[in-house]
């Protein structure tokens, strides 16, 4: 992320995400569809990697330290907003057209999002409409406005960065534990709940989509609220 910068890293990830997701819609035409689906899903996970580090960099460059909790909570809560919107959309697509169309439509939406990101995102010093006064304001508040303006050079220290180093930081260990907990909870609602409603309770996919959106609504409310409390 330091070498490629946030804009380029996320753009590559989004374009790759589009390709992997879109190709999932055609695995039914291949000789080993389950195997191909697993390979594409693995690649999808790799391509999602830049999102977390890039969001941290963007928040650090654009927001004063006293507003980073709110900014981070809005970013994190976007996953719940997307569940509310797209669980309903994907349930409807499966109900009306079949599961393949879920991957095709979501892949195209990812490509559109990549184009919006490429056009709209800038580091603070490079933004065409941000005034010097605003740059000075967020810099005075602790924003690292120059962090995203040029790639970082690799030093001997970063080249030899040991894998064990993050585990010696109490702050990072706390982040790891919190991230593990929230990811576990999220995937219960993303992966398990819709399947349970369909297979265990006899709901059709459209009904399951409506019910599965409810936890995401409350997750969004709680997530954004936590940012205000944190700041």
Q: Could you tell me the pTM of the whole model? A: 0.73
**Model confidence over 52-77: pLDDT tens digits?**
888 888 888 899 888 888 888 888 88
State what percent of residues in the chain have pLDDT above 70.
Answer: 94
Contact 141, 134 (CB under 8 A): no
CA dist 159 and 149 (Å) reads 21
Average pLDDT over residues 24-50: 88
H helices, E strands: number in the chain: 10, 0
Sequence ranges of the domains in the chain: 6-150+163-230
Contact 18, 48 (CB under 8 A): no
Q: Which residue has the tokens 């559109």?
A: 112
CA dist 30 and 36 (Å) reads 8
Residue 6: name the closest of 90, 124, 96 by CA: 124
């Amino acid at each position: 992320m330091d070498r490629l910068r946030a804009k380029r890293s996320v753009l590559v990830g989004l374009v790759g995400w589009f390709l992997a997701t879109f190709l999932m819609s055609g695995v039914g035409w291949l000789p080993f569809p389950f195997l191909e689906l697993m390979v594409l899903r693995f690649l999808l996970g790799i391509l999602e990697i830049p999102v977390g580090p890039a969001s941290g960099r963007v928040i650090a460059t654009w927001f004063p330290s006293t507003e980073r909790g709110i900014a981070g909570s809005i970013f994190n809560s976007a996953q719940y907003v997307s569940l509310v919107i797209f669980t309903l959309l994907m349930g409807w697509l499966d109900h009306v057209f079949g599961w393949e169309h879920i991957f095709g439509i979501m892949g195209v939406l990812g490509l559109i999002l990549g184009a919006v990101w490429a056009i709209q995102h800038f580091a603070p010093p490079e933004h065409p409409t941000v005034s010097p006064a605003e740059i000075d304001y967020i810099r005075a508040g602790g924003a690292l406005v120059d962090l995203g303006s040029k790639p970082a050079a690799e030093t001997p220290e970063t080249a030899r960065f040991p894998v064990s180093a993050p585990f010696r930081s109490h702050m990072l260990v706390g982040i790891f534990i919190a991230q593990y907990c929230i990811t576990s909870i999220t995937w219960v609602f993303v992966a398990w709940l819709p399947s349970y409603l369909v297979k265990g309770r006899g709901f059709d996919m459209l009904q399951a989509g409506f019910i599965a959106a409810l936890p995401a609504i409350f997750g969004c409310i709680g997530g954004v609220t936590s940012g205000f409390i944190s700041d």
